[in-house]
């Protein structure tokens, strides 16, 4: 299986399924985020799983520990492969999520978001977080690891710092990836798939270079060859 997770950033299930059917579940996994899930819900997750895909449910839970733990259990009951939470939700929230999933017969990977890449130093300062973005990312990645979660979502530019600080089995899931011959869209600090994998990324989240390609399967295979 390749490290690729294709972001199904569509507004409706019909478009998401049409794209998924052009892909190959032995070559990639798929990610369902807030818009698509809010519109299409658990039925779509079931349909994607029935097509053979591992599903990353990217809902970034952040709430009181009991609520997040129960939401993670609900995700596990859907049969998803990966689910995520915000590390800023606190140690007790991360522990509650992990402990809830431990008892599940089909435990999904549990990943935390550290600092969203849309935030800059002045944004962090305004919500009371001091230090650089990198310092905050590293502190939250260490907290995530200490709470026994499986890994973090991070920018490709944070891979090296986290890899040096935390053992190798800690999974790094990286968006902001653009193949060599692709446009940037609205991504700014990008890296190629091969660069990210060489630095130590475990999974690469890629959307438009595949979802907007004239031949999505060919675009997927080109990226796998590039890696």
**Interface region with ligand C5P, contact rule CB under 6 A, candidates 64-72, 73-81, 162-170, 200-208:** 200-208
Plot region of 128 (φ>0 → left; ψ -120 to 50 → alpha; else → beta)? left
Which residue(s) pair with 55 in the sheet? 30
Counted residue by residue, the chain has a size of: 227
Minimum CB separation from ligand C5P for residue 51, in Å? 19
Q: In the chain, where do the E strands start and end?
A: 4-7, 29-32, 55-61, 82-86, 109-113, 151-153, 171-174, 203-206
Q: Please give the helix or strand (H or E) that residue 49 lies within, else none.
A: helix 34-50
- Whether residue 60 lies in the annotated active site: yes
On the 0-12 / 13-18 / 19+ scale of CB atoms within 10 A, 38 is exposed
Minimum CB separation from ligand C5P for residue 63, in Å? 20
Quick check: 15 binds ligand C5P (CB under 6 A)? no
Which of 9, 145, 150, 202 is in the footprint of ligand C5P by CB under 6 A? 9
CA distances from residue 208 to 48, 183, 214 in whole angstroms, order as listed: 19, 9, 11
Measured in whole angstroms, the distance separating CA 65 from the mean position of its chain's CA atoms is 21
Which of 70, 208, 217, 227 is in the footprint of ligand C5P by CB under 6 A? 208
Which of 151, 156, 175, 216 is in the footprint of ligand C5P by CB under 6 A? 175
Q: CB-side exposure of 180: number of CA atoms within 13 Å?
A: 8
Quick check: 7 binds ligand C5P (CB under 6 A)? yes
- Which residues ranging from 127 to 156 are in contact with ligand C5P (CB under 6 A)? none
**Interface region with ligand C5P, contact rule CB under 6 A, candidates 36-44, 78-86, 160-168, 201-209:** 201-209
Residue nearest ligand C5P, Cβ-based: 207
Minimum CB separation from ligand C5P for residue 118, in Å? 7
User: Which member of 31, 34, 60, 188 is catalytic?
Assistant: 60
Q: CB-side exposure of 62: number of CA atoms within 13 Å?
A: 11
Quick check: 187 binds ligand C5P (CB under 6 A)? yes
Residues that bind ligand C5P (CB under 6 A): 7, 9, 33, 117, 175-176, 185, 187, 205-208
Which residue numbers are catalytic? 60
């Amino acid at each position: 299986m390749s490290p690729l997770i294709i972001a199904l950033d569509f507004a409706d299930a019909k478009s998401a399924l049409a794209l998924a059917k052009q892909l190959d579940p032995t070559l990639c996994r798929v990610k369902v985020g807030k818009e698509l899930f809010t519109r299409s819900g658990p039925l779509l997750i079931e349909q994607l799983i029935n097509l053979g895909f591992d599903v990353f449910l990217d809902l970034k839970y952040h709430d009181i520990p009991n609520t997040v733990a129960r939401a993670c259990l609900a995700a596990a009951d859907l049969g998803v492969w990966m689910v995520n939470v915000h590390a800023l939700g606190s140690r007790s929230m991360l522990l509650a999520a992990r402990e809830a999933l431990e008892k599940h017969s089909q435990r999904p990977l549990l990943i935390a978001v550290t600092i969203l890449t849309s935030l800059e130093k002045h944004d962090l300062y305004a919500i009371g977080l001091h230090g650089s973005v990198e310092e905050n990312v590293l502190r939250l990645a260490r907290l995530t690891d200490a709470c026994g979660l499986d890994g973090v979502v991070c920018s490709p530019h944070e891979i090296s710092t986290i890899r040096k600080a935390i053992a190798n089995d800690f999974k790094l899931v990286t968006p902001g990836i653009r193949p060599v011959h692709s446009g940037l869209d609205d991504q700014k600090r990008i890296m190629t798939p091969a660069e990210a994998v060489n630095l130590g990324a475990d999974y690469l989240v890629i959307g438009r270079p595949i979802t907007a390609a004239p031949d999505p399967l060919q675009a997927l295979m080109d990226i796998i060859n590039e890696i």
